[in-house]
Structure formats: C-alpha cells, structure tokens
Chains A and B, each alone.
Chain A
Amino acid sequence: MTKKMTLLFALVVLCASANAQTLFDEEITIPAGFAPTEIVMPPSPLTTQVLFIGGTDMVQTTPTYGNPAGEQVAKEWHDFIGFTPDNSGQSLGWVTVNHEMVYADDLLGDGGGMTAFRVKRAADGTLDIMNQTLPDGRTGKFFNVDFVNTVGETGMNCGGITSMVDGRIWTAEEWFQSSNAGIYSNGGGIRDTSDFVVSSDIPGWDGKTLKRYQNLNWMTEVDPRNAVAIRKQYNWGRQPFEGGAVEPGNRIVYLGPDDTPGFFGMFVANTPGDFNRGTLFAYKHDKPGWKWVPIWEDGALLDHKNYADAKGATMFNRIEWVAMNPKNNFVYFTETGLDSPGNNWADDEAAGGVHHPAHIARAQAQGLSSPSDPNYRDYYGRVWEYNPMTSETRVYLEGGPAFADSPTEADYPEKALSNPDGLTVMMIDDHPFLVIQEDLNGTSKGRTPAGVSNRLCEVYLLDLSIQNPTLDDLIRLTAVPNGAEVTGAIQSPDKKSLLLNAQHPATTNPFPYNHSLTIAIHGFDQVSYANLQNLADRNSAADPEMPAVEETAVFSVYPNPTTRTVFMNKVTDVAVYDASGQRVLVKRNTNELDVSSLNKGIYYLKNTEGETLKLSVQ
C-alpha cells in the first residue's frame, strides 16, 4: 500500500469514528422501476462435498478381541486428517481420519481410533471414495485402522503428522494418561489394563514391559494403505503430543506437545527416512549457537517433561499443530494458550524450564515480573515461526482482539484470532498460505462477539509472504459450514481441494452438516492469488487483476466471489434488504460485508447516507 493510500485510509477511518449508528428500517418499499447501480457477485468458485460421516458410515474391521473381522459404525469426533499421495497415478491417495471419541468397542478396539480410505479425482472434479480389497482380506470403502493387534490401543486420537516427503502418517494423543484406572474409565475406556510387552523394531524397546497406560501418548505411525498401525515411536518420548512436521530432507521431525509447559521438540534421524534411530531434542531459545538441547538420558523417554525441565528447555503454553512452508522450510506452530498458565509452569520454572522473551514481555506489559505469576493471562494464543537456518523463534501472529492496536475496528469480530489450534500450509496459485483453525478455550475477552455465549471457531487463511502480519491480514474462509468447529485441514496433493473435519457443527446447517464429518472444498485451482488479497492490497500495482477502488463520494463496492465479501469504498453502516424489501443483514462501521449467508437473488445495499446499490448474488 502506498503512503498516499495509507493517509487516505486513515482519513476514512477518522471520518467513520463519528460512529453513525444509523437506524435502518426493518422493511422498505422498493419503488417500481427503481434501478440503482447493479453489482454482481458471481458464484463462488468453491464447492463442498461430504466424504465421510462419523457415527454413520460403516468401517471394515480386523479380527479383534476374539471377534471375527466384520463391519462396525465408525467412531466420531474427527480431528486430524492425513493425506498420503499415490504416486502410481491410480488414485489421488489415501486419507486417514482421527477419532477423538474414546470408548470400548469389541470390533473397533478400545480407546480412540482412526479410519482410512482411498480417493480418486472424478471427472466432475469431486472425489470418489474407492472400493478396496486390502491384503488382509477386508473389502469396502472405509477401514478401521487396527491398533489393537499391532501396537496396542491408543487414547484420544487428536492431531498428527503427514510427512511432506512421502505422506507417512503419525497419529498423536494429547490427553496425557497417568494411571491404569484413568484409561480403564469404569470399563468404558481401555478394558485390558494388564502390563504391555513391547514388540518393536526400535533399538532397545523390543521386549520391554510397560504399565498399560504407559503405552499411550506416543506418536504412532500408521500405514494408510493397509489400515494398520506400524509402530509407536517410543524413541520420540512419551508426551501429550498434538502435532508435528517432517522436513523435506526427511531427517528432522518437529514435534508439538499440548501442555503447559509444552516443549517444542525435534527428532533428528541418523539416516534420512529412518526415524527409529536418531536423537531427540528440546528447544532452548537462550542456548548460545544452535538452540536445541538433547534429551537422551536413560529414562528420559518415559519421563520427558522432567528431563526437559532439567535441561532448561523453553516453555510454551500448549503447542498444537506444526506446519512447514515448502518454499523455504520455515516452521510454524500454534500455541493455543491457557487463560491462566502461571501456576501450571511455575514448578517447571523452578525445576529449570525457561520462559521465552515473548512471554516475559507480555507479562511485563501486564505489570507482572514473570509469566509464572498466577495473574499472568494468555487468552488468545498465537502462531510462532521457527527459522531453520538460525534456529531462532519469533511470534509470527499474535492472537487477539487487543482493540488498542488490532484488529481495526472495522475488522472485528470478523478478524479476531482466538486459540489457534489446527495449522497447515496450503498452496494457492503457487503462493503458500497458512490455514489456521481456531479451537476456543472460552468466550471471554472478545473471543466471541458481544452477546454470543457459545464458541464460534473460524478458519482463516494467511498469506505467508507477509513478513509481519497483523490480524487485519487474516482472510476468513467462508466456504466452511456455518458455525462448525473445523479441524484437520489438509490440501489434496493436486492442490485442487482442501479436506477438513467439522466437529461440533451448528443447527443452521442441514444434514449431514450437523454431524461429525470429513468434507472437501473443491475449486482452489480456480482461485488466483489476487482473489485472496485483503482490501488494503486491492490498490497495489502488483495486482493488476484487481480493479482499483477509489475513494470517491459515491457509494461503490467491489464483490469478491471467493471470500463472499463485498468491499466498500468507505467505512459506513450498511443494511442489506432482500428483493421484497425485508432487512436481512446489518453491519456497522465497516468497509467489508460478508454475504456468504445470502442465498442467490437480488438484494439492496443501503449505507448511512441512504445511498443504495443493487446486489445480484449468483
């Protein structure tokens, strides 16, 4: 944005702070023959398809607990999605979906679970779920991933890792288990609580005996082609894992544990691709030179947190997903936050854990000396960036609304980032974008707009070419079902689709959107980089595709079909009336209007000055 434009915008904002607060009539009469300037909102290039419905679709099971192979209703509460590309060209690849719902089941196995299926691109651009017969004889579309007969049960399968190198898949479980009674859960959880004897190809682990609960909370590799688990990654430590990422050299895995403190981790393989042999590290920002410390003592793998404390590792407040920019190998991870983390990491600090300067600065801004103070607050979380060349970390995007500095008044609540959780990088028009998925820890402090007491979780895109993004740079992805809590986003290998899980969707969406389901949004190959630019960038000479919107006296708007947003040339109050003159939308103090909730048809846009435009939504 040029300086002149900035000035112009400042001027507009200044004028608007007069705060018109126009009262728009509930109903207006549209005079016959009334023909204001007509603006056309073309159809969205994005379409949505349901792939897999939890609790409803049937999955094929292996012989389990003495029962023969068969069929069962899939578990629910989808979280992570893995996508393993098929290089043979026979299909697009294999999809794996995690289930966070824990219960005892004679056919699926106790604990959490995972479902695998194979997809190919149909002629009409949608995805077909393929019929498969697996080597173990199971035939069908959806397959229960067998943990029971391979590596032992898992707990709450939440996040995971898709390797960007070869599509290897690991599943994670964040809820840290500390007793057999806890996992047994009165017979509703994991019923077999006998000691577990490890059978593993990881050096030093075969034949080891663990308490049953100790066999949980490991990153677990699965084979999506055969719908079986391969191994629990005992050598990466037992941690409340949520996410991770494999770098292109296939030697380093970055690891994110969901805990306060959570220690950003890294496993370095001795030889590329062999993650059974190597060294585990924890991040330590204040270490001179390379900022990683090895966690390799005897016993450290079963007691990771205490060893990380003792090594003085850097404490984060609930690390969730980890993603990598394929253009430069920079690593991004979400720190989802915990409102009052002070008491949760005070002991760890005493045991050696260190606070990141970013948290110390935040504490000082709150008038406190340390983030371990019980009054320290971390309501919104943030997205971090890790530079693999320098091993430095920095806050890439701070959550909020802070109101004093961000987002701009016109952008709230559309652009508030609260408790980022799911994170992936998506290529659109060969530009990398972060896909950030919220999972709210609460509704206080503006995490939901005034008067909304239930959690509203959004999905945002963020252009990774922006060096120092602010909340105003977020692009809300309106193609996801209304009000749904979205997790697990991952792009298809052909870059055309984004797969995601909708977990606790809202009433306003008809079946199947009121269920736990995996959906695909198609058409991202039709979206250009320019289509996703924010209002401020529309005037940039770098985007000749975007018509310049000039600051004029006359009310004018520019519709963006991809984000279903109407941009206006000035900050104003605006009401939308349908063709019959009924008021259907009101937005105040804004220069952009989300019209994704409007059905096809003719509408009238009226601003504070009474200027009216006709909007044809297609």
Chain B
Amino acid sequence: MNKKLLITTSLLAALFLLLSFKENEAALALEKTENLFRTRLEEMALSTDQLEAAAENLTAQNTSIEKLRQAHLNARIQYKKVEFLLTYLDGAAVRKNINGAPLPSVVPNVPKVIEIEPSGLQVLDELVFSENPLEEKEKIIACSKKLSHDFEEMRTYQEKVKLTHRHVFEAIRQELVRVFTQGVTGFDTPGSANAIPEARAAFEGMYDAFKNYMPLLTEKDGGLAIVMDARMDYTLQYLAEHDEFESFDRLEFLKNHIEPQYQLFYEIHKALGIEFAEETDKMPRAVNYHAVSLFAPDFLNAGYYANLDLKEPLMGKRVDLGKTLFFDPILSKDLKLSCASCHQPEKAFTDGQPKSLAANGKEHLKRNSPTLVNAVYSDRYFWDLREPRLDRQMLHVVMSKDEFGTDYIEIINKLKQSSEYGQLFSAAYPEYPEYQISTYTISDALSSYVASLTDFDSPFDRYVRGETSVIDPAVKRGFNLFMGKAACGTCHFAPTFNGTVPPTYDESESEVLGIPTSPDTLNALLDNDLGRYASGIPGYKADFYKTSFKTVTVRNVALTAPYMHNGVFQTLEEVVDFYTRGGGAGLGLDVPHQTLPFDKLELTQPEQADIVAFMKSLTGDMSKFMHPERLPIFENQTNWNNRKIGGQY
C-alpha cells in the first residue's frame, strides 16, 4: 500500500468513527431502566407479602375484608406497573403463576396428561371479591402463599437478566396491545372489575421506564420527544378522569390513545437507532413489529401461522394454483365436491348449512363449516383444534369418507393426466422436480391460497384506521359493550376477534360454552359432541376439554349463519341471547367445566342489538374472492372436462 492511499484510508476510517453516537446517554438510560425494574420487582414482592398477611388475618369483620381487598388491589397495581417488562421477559411464567386465566391447563410436551390447577392474581381476584371471602379463606391463604413463593422465585431470576434497549421498546408496544385487549376488557379482573385504574398503573410503569430515554430522544429527534411528552400526560389524565368500568369508552381509548402511541413508540424505537428483533435472532414471530396499527392488514404475519414465506417470489403463482385446486372437484372421489362446496366465497367461505352435506348428498358432516376468511390466524385448526399445521388440514378432508373420500395417491394420479395442471405445478414449484405434483405441492398451494384469504377492510377497520370518520352510534355502543360489560372481547380477542391470544398471538384457545342441541331455551339438551377432548390428540384427554370448541372469529359473521360448531343458532340475536343467559349452565344444563361465566350478563334488548350491529360492522367485501373462470383441461379424460367449477354442491 503506498503512503497516499494509507493516509486516505485512515482519514476515511476516522470519518467512519465519528459516525458512531455517544454511548454514555444510551447506557445510562438502560441502566436507570434496569434499576427501576428491580425496584418495581421489590415493591411487588412486598405487596404480595402484605397480601399473604392480610389473607391470614382475615376475619368476619368488614374492616378485615376491606383490608384484604385493598391488599389484593395494591398487589395487582404493583404488578401492573411492572407488567410490561415482566411479561415480555417471561410471559409463560407470568401466565402460569402470576396472572394467568383462572382455568385449569395441561403440562405441555409431556407424554401424559398432567393437569395444572390455576393460581395467581386472577384466581385471587375472583376469591377476594366473592360475596363472602371468609368462606374461601383457606383457598385465599394457599393461593396468596403460592403467589408470594412463585413471584419470589421469578424475581430472583429476572433480576439477573440483562436488558437491552430493544427489550424496553418491544415490551412497551406489547403492553399497549395487552392493555387494550386484556386490560380494559376486564379479562384479568374477573372479580374486582378494577380494570381502568390498573390500565393507568400499566401506563405509569411504561412511562417511568421510557422517560429515561427522553434526554436521548430529545437529542436525536426533538419533535418526537415533545409529542410523546404531551401524549403521556394526555393518557394518564384521560384514564384518571374515566375510571369507571362500564362507561369507559373503549373505542375512543383505542383511537385516541392506543393507536397513536403504538405508532409513536415504533417511530421512537427507529429514531433512537435501536436494532429490531430480526437483527438479533431469526425466530419467526406472529406479530409484525413494523405494522403501526393494531388494525393494519399486516399487523399479524399470516406466513407465521401457515409456515409459509409470503415474500417468496413464486407465492403469487402458488396462490393462483391453490385457488384453482380449491374450486376443482377433481380432488374428490366422484368429481362432485370441491373445497368450495362447503366454503363458498360469497358466504365468507361457509355454506349456510348447520352441518355441511356429506359426499353421498344425503347425510351431514359432524360439524358446521367454519369461515376461511382470516382462518389462518390460528396456531391450530378445526373446531377441536386437532391439527397444528394448515398444510396438513387438507389431509383430513381428503381421507374422510364423508368428504373427499379419496387419498393423495389417487389425486396425484388424476392431476398428472392434465398437462395444463402439469404446467401450473412446474411454474409454481420449479425446484425439486421430483416433487412437482406431490402431496407437498398440493397441500402447500392450498394453504398458500387459504393464507391469502385475509380481510381487515371492514367499515369498522377503516374507521379505526382513520380512513373514514363516521360510524353508526350503534356500532360504537356495540363495540364498547363487546369489549367491556358483555365480556365478548375477553375470548374473541381484537383485532382478529378470535381465540388467538394477545399480545403474542401464538396460541389458540377453545372454550366450553354448553352448546345445546336446539335453540329451545326451555327444554335445552346439551350437544353430546365432546369436541377437543375427543379430537384424538392424546394431550387433550383432560376432563375440562370435554365439549370445548375453538373460539372462532366474529369477523364476517353477518355472512356465516348458522352459528356454533353444530349450527344450532340461525341468527346473531339468538347467539347473543344464549350468552346473555349464561350459556348452557345458565340454561340449567350440567356443564361443570363451562368457561363462560354462568351468571347472566344482564344485557338489555337494545344493548344486545348494539352488539349485533357492531359484529355486522366487521363485514368485509367478499367480492374480491372470486371463483376462477375456468378449470384446467384433461386431454385424455374428456368426460372430466364437464366438471363444475366449485363442485356440484
């Protein structure tokens, strides 16, 4: 290297060095945040100890009950202040021991069924705020003791965890989703209904951490800092002034607080130059961090659920091929049925039947045909959740004697007789020529198509995103009931309004509702379909999974009547009435593991009508999902060329 070049290089290197920012302020912000985290953990540990003491001192006196309730509420508030980081760092442990749903579960990934009794703050919320807590004293003591123990174990561990900047901002954005979907809905305050003050505590916790980054942000993007500063005051004040559960306006809160901050914190994350998760590990995630609205069409990654890379350049061809296959009765034994027979686009891919017609044209299948629009957003499929993979979902239909009644070998042999199909497959799957028309490509094309059947463009979505400024007041009231008093949103989680659990959206829930065989409320009989328990998955053989069914989406329900796994209800009004009565148990049926509260919801007729109006506002435009214009030709099987697009029925 000659001298001149060396000098130039050194100069350039020096220039490069200058481009790096001051570390001190960044390191300081994080250090302060870590210290705050530890302090908050200590405060919560203290509050759980106080709760335990209050439980042990419980007597029949009102003051002692009041003390217990205050100690419990205080423990919950302390938890809420640290919830964003604690659940981000170890959501699974929080769900299991600290603030999980008050429902039993099974130990995952063990070759036998081991049931776990629920414990933690939600169980306590129900017990402490029951009519006579003294009757539950033993349980309350045991539960609060376990909480102290489990929390202490968690704390001693989490204190040692090293945070990075990314964690802080991802945790905050995740908490915004949680506050909206599981906080203000009353999801985790089943007894106390103290949801709104708790939401305020959650915001305080987040803001206290974020404020450590304010000097840095001011330096990098003063405008953003000023906006965020004003936002924090605005939200804390709003929550202080509107702290009553039933009257809380969730839609206003979503539009004026959650949505703007979900976007702002993303912009701040970026402006500070903090790396994103995909730069530190290659794990797929259900939530697309780069989406700036909870109601953005790309808020969730459809590819995550379908195990597909949607950015694959051939994806368009695969979706088109999948669509052709979807409407082609060539897949069924006698060329009469196609996927579209039970999943018709104009009915949001349902068929209008209580239970779909079987292949013989006479009998009916076991269950109602569910919508496929947004069905991809689930970690397992079918009413009984028996299939974790979308691409294998089709196998069940192919093999079922009442459905396609065939097998893949027969299907492959048929498809191979069409050179037109051959071309479509080779264009969509050019690599691995030995697998061109195979189980893999057929199921992959179909799941690519189903993964493309998404819609977040209903009038309600457009209103939330600010694309329209007007909404029917009934829809607004209905949404607020759905997400509040009526408690629909505690199982049908926004924004998919199905059972895929926020804020990570990577697990699908099922519920026991006690669904009857007929809409007759006077002489109700429990439907004997055991659902998840009878799915054939050995790990689901727990009693509390009997008659448990997948929580399906309420998007597009205006098009998908009749409702429930057995199609028992013809109208949405009937459905809302069923929930209002407290489900099967409310009708007097013996449903020991019902997950829907047994007590009546006490919704007035106008309130019920508002909820229906809201659900109807979640209807997308199905005309974008068209039938294909023609089906491929079979050159040597001319009688097959008369087959009907979408099947005969």
Residues of A within 8 A of B (CB): 18-26, 28, 31, 33-36, 53, 55-56, 58, 71-73, 76, 102-103, 156, 158, 174-176, 182, 185-186, 188-189, 240, 258-259, 318, 338-340, 344, 375, 377, 403-404, 409, 413, 419, 439-446, 448-454, 456, 482-483, 505-508, 510-512, 514-515, 575, 583-589, 597, 606, 608-612
Contacts and interface: CB of A to CB of B under 8 A. Distances in A.
22 contacts: A18-B27, A23-B274, A26-B273, A34-B13, A53-B435, A73-B408, A156-B111, A156-B538, A158-B111, A175-B112, A176-B112, A403-B161, A439-B109, A443-B90, A446-B157, A451-B174, A507-B308, A510-B309, A512-B440, A583-B279, A588-B164, A612-B13
Q: Nearest 6 pairs between A and B by C-beta? A: A586-B275, A444-B93, A610-B20, A610-B17, A188-B536, A444-B92
B538 A175 contact: yes
Contacts of B127: none
Interface centre among A24, A72, A451 (most CB of B within 10 A): A451
Given A21-B26, A25-B19, A449 B281 contact: yes
A425 to B, nearest CB: 25
Contacts of A186: 534, 536
Contact of A28 (B19, B31, B88, B110): B19
A24 B275 contact: yes
A325 B281 CA distance: 33
Given A24-B273, A444-B96, A482 B282 contact: yes
Contacts of B110: 318, 338, 441
Interface in B71-100: 88-93, 96
Contacts of A23: 21, 23, 26, 165, 272-274
B433 interface: no
Contacts of A506: 282-284, 307
B131 interface: no
Contact of B309 (A240, A483, A507, A585): A507
A351 B24 CA distance: 61
Contacts of A482: 282
Contacts of B20: 22, 24-25, 606, 608-610
B439 interface: yes
B15 interface: yes
Given A175-B111, A440-B109, A441-B110, A483 B283 contact: yes
A555 to B, nearest CB: 11
A405 to B, nearest CB: 11
A489 B444 CA distance: 27
A154 to B, nearest CB: 14
A377 B107 CA distance: 14
B111 A31 contact: no
A370 B30 CA distance: 40
B414 interface: no
B299 to A, nearest CB: 16
Contacts of B166: 451
Interface in B326-351: none
Interface string B402-422: 000001110000000000000
B167 A451 contact: yes
Given A34-B16, A454-B506, A514 B307 contact: yes
Contacts of A584: 279
A60 B309 CA distance: 32
Contact of B279 (A19, A174, A483, A585): A585
Contact of A450 (B16, B88, B108, B431): B88
Contacts of B285: 452, 454
Nearest to B34: A19
Contacts of A259: 111-112
Given A186-B536, A451-B174, 6 more contacts: A20-B23, A24-B275, A448-B283, A450-B167, A453-B506, A454-B284
B449 interface: no
Contact of B307 (A507, A588, A589): A507
A483 B284 contact: yes
Contacts of A258: 111
Contacts of A72: 407, 409
A28 B15 CA distance: 12
B109 A442 contact: yes
Contacts of B536: 103, 185-186, 188-189
Contacts of B273: 23-26
A451 B308 contact: no
B538 A182 contact: yes
B162 interface: yes
A451 B166 CA distance: 10
Nearest to A409: B162
Contacts of A375: 149
Contacts of A318: 110
Contacts of B307: 505-507, 514
Contacts of A18: 27
B16 A610 contact: yes
B440 A511 contact: yes
B539 to A, nearest CB: 9
A586 B280 contact: yes
Contact of A453 (B19, B92, B270): B92
Contacts of B18: 610
Interface string B425-451: 000010110010011100010000000
Nearest to B94: A444
Nearest to B11: A31
Contacts of A24: 20, 273, 275
B312 interface: yes
Interface in B360-415: 392, 395, 407-409
Interface centre among B13, B171, B312 (most CB of A within 10 A): B13
Interface centre among A53, A413, A450 (most CB of B within 10 A): A450
B277 interface: yes
Contacts of A174: 111
A16 to B, nearest CB: 11
B272 A450 contact: no
A404 to B, nearest CB: 7
B153 interface: yes
Contacts of A456: 281, 283
A185 to B, nearest CB: 5
B165 A21 contact: yes
A455 to B, nearest CB: 8
B504 interface: yes
Contacts of B103: none
B12 interface: yes
A18 B30 CA distance: 12
B218 to A, nearest CB: 14
A77 to B, nearest CB: 10
A23 B168 CA distance: 14
B541 interface: yes
Interface string B106-134: 01111110100000000000000000000
Nearest to A32: B12
Contact of A31 (B16, B26, B174, B534): B16
B623 interface: no
Interface in B550-570: none
B493 interface: no
Given A21-B26, A24-B20, A31-B16, A442 B279 contact: no
Contacts of B109: 419, 439-442
A597 B282 contact: yes
B281 A452 contact: yes
Nearest to A442: B92
Contacts of B409: 58, 71-73
Contacts of B16: 28, 31, 34, 606, 610, 612
A442 B110 CA distance: 11
A612 B15 CA distance: 11
B438 A608 contact: no
Contacts of B88: 450-451
Given A21-B26, A589-B162, A55 B283 contact: no
B42 interface: no
B224 to A, nearest CB: 15
